[in-house]
Chains A and B, each alone.
Chain A
Amino acid sequence: MTIELKSISKIFAGGSAHPVLDDINLTINDNEFFTLLGPSGCGKTTLLRLIAGFEHPTSGTIELFGERVEGTPPNARPVNTVFQHYALFPHQTVAQNVGFGLRMLRRPAPEIEPEIERMLRLVRLEGLAHRYPHQLSGGQQQRVALARALAARPRVLLLDEPLSALDSKLRDEMRVELKLLQRNTGITFIFVTHDQGEALSMSDRIAVLSEGRIQQVGTPDDIYERPRSRFVAQFVGETNVFEGKLIRLPGKQPEFKTSSGALLPLGDTPADDDNPALAFVRPEKLRLGNPDDLASDPQARLRGVVTNKLYLGTDTVYYVDLEGGETLRARIQNASAIDNRFDVGAAVRVRAEEGAFRTVGRST
């Protein structure tokens, strides 16, 4: 076990009385790519700063590799950070920045030089070793920050939104690079982002944070397919959400009656989910069909009218107004020419695979 956080709370002296972090319990495993996902201001950076040792928890304990680290200063923790604001040393060249950690560890110079070169190759900045930070673009600075944090071979790397300043092409490349790097080095990565796509594509596990509380921890698949709260369902991925109530009739599959009266077929609902207040379905789990063709299909009881249509190339997003008044989004992959055939105004039936509609409680 790399990191164990036990009932961590943080209230800043002089800040608001509302805790910035509230009873955080987390276990992060060896060699894990662990992501903290949450909106701006939810406490992601604060949690990283606690692990790095720049802040101290108001209550709770932090264990690194089985040892409590209350009294351990940042320089004695085998943890390096890629800061959200880079924090490159402005009076040092790129090469000096990257070699800083190794110099502080008093490694001999002949050992440091090749390591700097290796790191700069890794982040593709070979030619810029002798530049100063103020002569670099934002994306280049961010990559220097990454190289600097990696050079000293930490056992845990904390990354605070390290890809946010990159253009989308470089960001996609760096996602793959980072994931590979993590797998090859065996370093535990704790990666902070507010981008759900980034979190889903890179992580072994994700913790979703909101207002200082952990909403859910799980694999990307868990988080996306089986969110346990409205917040997670809506923050991660696109969702159609319905208010209403659960109806269980003996001998029948449970159903969800929306506030406008539409009946949504539910698969198995979790046992502890007796009084769910919301049902949701991901747009890509829906199919549209001609009302007459699907009239006898038990999975296609919802009927509506296409009111808008966004053609996205790979997919088309249809906005369908259901009979009861709710609007659904359906994302249909354009696998063949006929998939893109419904026009605005067309009457359709909405088909959902069994289990596509799921429920969550209102408050959690």
Chain B
Amino acid sequence: MAILQRKEPHSLISFRGFGSVTGLCLFILYVPMLVLVVFSFNANRAVTVWGGFSLQWYAKAAYNGGLQNAAWNSLVVAVIATIVATAIATAAALATGRGQRFRGSQAFYMLVNLPLMLPEIIIAVGTLSFFALLGMKLSLLTIIIAHTVFCIPFAYLPIRSRLETMDARLEEAASDLYASPLDAYRHVTMPLLMPGIISGAMLAFVVSLDDFIITAMVAGAGSGTLPVYVYTQLKQGVTPEINAISTVLLAVSIVLVAASYFVAKAGSKHVRPATEQP
């Protein structure tokens, strides 16, 4: 009751059992991953029977040629797609968030973000048909192109939201102090926008690394990425080796998402002058 009285009377948190429901939801959300991680350290080949702690599946995965190839593909695709997508997203954010409002800038904003809301399978089929139409042979290149495209909205969002919190008057102050438009961009806009750009790039990287549906559609023979490789291996049943690969993927994703969050947060204290005129 003591807790109840401190909360607002109609706050959701004040309902009885709120804590346990929350706990249950989080448990359901994370238990599959927990199982996967735990069994990646299993000494036993049987996936569901615990046979003691071991790192043997990680070692085995490391020497698997097909896996190495897939991991390399993943890395190449993610790095190139991230760089290109982030550059395009930055330009798009600056065009829509700064300078003269052009006609249809609102519509443009919607267009950039719409793919985030569409079912991925539709984009996948569409991309595949598009490549077929152009007569492009499926290869690593088609994966890179597809990834670059669907990474743009993911990179765009954090950059744009960072730009929105930035004070446009700082760029005026720079030009008042003899900065050319390029100088103002280099010395004021860019440094202040950087946390948004880094955060957008990390997000794009993770999304590219983890994508399966689109990649599976547009991958040529031998150009599969890690998720595609994992899926093909699954046809022979879940092995602890797959658990180990998945755990590594999971770890990389978590680290990048967390880093993206902290970069954005660390940058936010530099966004505005500390005090405005009272």
Residues of A within 8 A of B (CB): 52, 54, 73-75, 79-81, 83-91, 100-101, 103-105, 132-138, 141, 148-149, 152, 161, 164-165
Determine whether B91 belongs to the interface, using a CB cutoff of 8 Å to chain A.
no
Cβ B275 vs Cβ A138 within 8 A: yes
Knowing A87-B172, A91-B191, A136-B274, say if A105 contacts B178 (CB, 8 Å): yes
Determine whether B188 belongs to the interface, using a CB cutoff of 8 Å to chain A.
yes
From residue 211 to 248 of chain B, which have CB atoms closer than 8 A to chain A? Answer: none
Determine whether B277 belongs to the interface, using a CB cutoff of 8 Å to chain A.
yes
Cβ B176 vs Cβ A52 within 8 A: yes
A291 to chain B, nearest CB (A): 49
Cβ B269 vs Cβ A134 within 8 A: yes
Contact residue among B178, B272, B277 (Cβ-Cβ distance under 8 Å from A90): B272
Cβ A85 vs Cβ B273 within 8 A: yes
Contact residue among B179, B180, B277 (Cβ-Cβ distance under 8 Å from A86): B277
Counting chain A CB atoms within 10 Å of each CB, the highest count among B170, B179, B275 belongs to B275
Knowing A74-B172, A83-B169, A104-B183, say if A88 contacts B178 (CB, 8 Å): no
Contact with A along B167-186 (1 / 0, CB 8 A): 10110111111111001100
Chain A residue at minimum C-beta to C-beta distance from B180: A75
Bound Cα distance from A91 to B177, whole angstroms: 16
Knowing A87-B170, A90-B270, say if A141 contacts B177 (CB, 8 Å): no
Cβ A81 vs Cβ B176 within 8 A: yes
Determine whether B34 belongs to the interface, using a CB cutoff of 8 Å to chain A.
no
Pairs across A and B, CB under 8 Å, 9 listed:
A75-B176, A81-B176, A87-B167, A87-B173, A87-B273, A100-B179, A104-B183, A134-B269, A152-B177
Interface residues of B, count at CB 8 A:
28
Cβ A86 vs Cβ B174 within 8 A: no
Q: Which residues of B contact A89 (CB under 8 A)?
A: 170, 173-174, 188
Given contacts A132-B270, A152-B178, A165-B278, 12 further A-B contacts (CB under 8 A): A75-B176, A80-B176, A80-B177, A85-B277, A87-B169, A100-B174, A101-B178, A103-B187, A104-B178, A104-B180, A136-B274, A164-B277
Bound Cα distance from A137 to B275, whole angstroms: 8
Cβ B176 vs Cβ A133 within 8 A: no
Q: Which residues of B contact A73 (CB under 8 A)?
A: 175
Q: Which residues of A contact B278 (CB under 8 A)?
A: 138, 165
Minimum-distance CB pairs A-B, first 7: A134-B274, A87-B173, A101-B177, A104-B178, A74-B175, A75-B175, A104-B179
Q: Which residues of A contact B271 (CB under 8 A)?
A: 90
Bound Cα distance from A54 to B184, whole angstroms: 14
Determine whether B78 belongs to the interface, using a CB cutoff of 8 Å to chain A.
no
Chain A residue at minimum C-beta to C-beta distance from B173: A87
B138 to chain A, nearest CB (A): 45
Q: Which residues of B contact A87 (CB under 8 A)?
A: 167, 169-170, 172-173, 273
Determine whether B276 belongs to the interface, using a CB cutoff of 8 Å to chain A.
yes
Contact residue among B172, B177, B269 (Cβ-Cβ distance under 8 Å from A100): B177
A54 to chain B, nearest CB (A): 6
Cβ B177 vs Cβ A104 within 8 A: yes
From residue 148 to 173 of chain B, which have CB atoms closer than 8 A to chain A? Answer: 167, 169-170, 172-173
Determine whether B128 belongs to the interface, using a CB cutoff of 8 Å to chain A.
no
Q: Which residues of A contact B184 (CB under 8 A)?
A: 75
Bound Cα distance from A138 to B192, whole angstroms: 21
Q: Which residues of B contact A104 (CB under 8 A)?
A: 174, 177-180, 183, 187
Counting chain A CB atoms within 10 Å of each CB, the highest count among B170, B177, B187 belongs to B177
B271 to chain A, nearest CB (A): 7
B23 to chain A, nearest CB (A): 39
Chain A residue at minimum C-beta to C-beta distance from B272: A90
Chain A residue at minimum C-beta to C-beta distance from B269: A134
Bound Cα distance from A80 to B172, whole angstroms: 11
A158 to chain B, nearest CB (A): 9
B172 to chain A, nearest CB (A): 6
Chain A residue at minimum C-beta to C-beta distance from B179: A104
Knowing A74-B172, A75-B178, A80-B177, say if A88 contacts B273 (CB, 8 Å): yes
B194 to chain A, nearest CB (A): 9
Bound Cα distance from A79 to B191, whole angstroms: 25
Bound Cα distance from A73 to B184, whole angstroms: 13
Cβ A141 vs Cβ B273 within 8 A: yes
Chain A residue at minimum C-beta to C-beta distance from B172: A54
Chain B residue at minimum C-beta to C-beta distance from A132: B270
Bound Cα distance from A297 to B274, whole angstroms: 62
B14 to chain A, nearest CB (A): 37
Bound Cα distance from A79 to B173, whole angstroms: 11
Bound Cα distance from A85 to B176, whole angstroms: 14
Q: Which residues of B contact A84 (CB under 8 A)?
A: 277
Bound Cα distance from A148 to B174, whole angstroms: 11
Q: Which residues of A contact B179 (CB under 8 A)?
A: 75, 100, 104
Chain A residue at minimum C-beta to C-beta distance from B276: A85
Chain B residue at minimum C-beta to C-beta distance from A145: B173
B123 to chain A, nearest CB (A): 38
Bound Cα distance from A138 to B277, whole angstroms: 7
